[in-house]
């Protein structure tokens, strides 16, 4: 397994186990998929990037993942509330990764709020950065 997949699985588990999140987005609508339209409301586990760490053993990686929040609404209030709940859930404690990986740091580095071109849907992009180490 790769560090980015281990992190993605841990993030999804954290979100689907958060009562605040599932009060806003059903657990079945927190998905890893790319088809549109997205369920309303939804959190889509999106694009990612893995950067090699600076340690000499090359066991650390900085993983960056985007989470896409979608909601049909006339404003951005709903996606902002969901994005805030995502941040709170991810900052509530250390993420438990699969065996072989350890999450030393995880933070929401930024959030963007957008209006979709369809004129009916709001969209947020929540960028998560984590320092993941391989455990040998």
Averaged over successive runs of 10 residues, the pLDDT of the chain (136 residues) comes to 92 97 97 81 94 79 96 96 98 93 95 92 96 91
DSSP 8-state code for residue 97: P
Nearest CA among 103, 99, 121 for reference residue 44: 121
Looking at residue 56, its pLDDT comes to 73
Looking at residue 118, its pLDDT comes to 87
Looking at residue 35, its pLDDT comes to 65
Looking at residue 71, its pLDDT comes to 96
In the chain the domains, ranked by start, together with CATH numbers, are 3-134 (3.30.2000.30)
Whether this prediction's pTM lies above 0.85 is answered by yes
Looking at residue 98, its pLDDT comes to 92
Cα–Cα distances in angstroms (integers) from residue 19 to residues 23, 26, 72, in the given order: 6, 10, 21
């Amino acid at each position: 397994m790769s560090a980015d997949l281990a992190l993605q699985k841990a993030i999804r588990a954290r979100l689907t186990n958060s009562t605040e999140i599932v009060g806003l987005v059903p657990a079945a609508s927190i998905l890893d998929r790319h088809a549109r339209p997205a369920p309303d409301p939804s959190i889509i586990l999106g694009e990612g990037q893995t950067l090699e760490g600076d340690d000499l053993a090359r066991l650390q990686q900085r993983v960056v993942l985007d989470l896409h929040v979608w909601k049909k609404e006339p404003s951005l209030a709903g996606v902002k509330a969901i994005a805030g709940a995502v941040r709170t859930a991810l900052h509530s404690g250390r993420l438990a990764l699969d065996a072989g990986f350890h999450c030393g740091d995880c933070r929401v580095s930024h959030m963007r709020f957008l209006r979709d071109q369809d004129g009916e849907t709001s969209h947020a992009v929540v960028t998560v950065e984590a320092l993941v180490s391989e455990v040998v």
